Amino acid sequence: MDVITANHELKAKVSPKRMFEAIVIHGPKLLPKIAPRAIKSIDILQGHGGVGSIRQINFPNGAPFPYIREKVDVVDTENLVFKARAFESRMFADKIEAIHSTQKYEDSGDGGCIVKLTVEIHPKDGAEFNEEDRKVGKAFGREIFSIVEEYLIAHPDVCP
């Protein structure tokens, strides 16, 4: 089956550098603190959190699946690009081999930023996807970015 690609753009009222630092650089500590209903913890299983590291994103009880494991492929602090490859989760079941994601943080020209997200789902042979399968991941991503944006606006001293 062909790779399923989705592109999304999210606008935030904080600078690209602050969003990038909050989500990518400080995310393993910050996200569970500010979004505990969405992310229980982010554990570094191998490496130091940078390129080549393997991390496990744990979700709270009641989430549709307990965790996702991913490998960090790119952390480009100059161009504000983050790439990772999710390779293990109960969510994958018999449908997904891997999910590749790219986040690019760009200046929106008004003091804020546009986060360009590209998600590539690499399905297993014979897997079928419907619109509902796609909406779940999209809604989760929007929720996390919105929580981070609100937190950074309320706390201008964080990731200045």
Helix pair 131-154, 27-34: axis angle to 10 deg: 90
Which of 11, 7, 6 is CA-nearest to residue 145? 11
**55 vs 96, higher pLDDT:** 55
**52 vs 131, higher pLDDT:** 52
Give CA–CA dist 6/59, Å, rounded.
23
What does pTM read for this prediction? 0.90
For the stretch 83-125, pLDDT in tens is: 999 999 887 777 888 999 999 999 999 999 999 999 998 988 8
Task: Delimit the domains of the chain by residue range.
Answer: 4-154
For the stretch 59-70, pLDDT in tens is: 999 888 899 999
Is 4-154 a CATH 1.10.10.10 domain? no
Categorize the per-residue pLDDT at 6 as very low, low, confident or very high, splitting at 50, 70 and 90.
confident
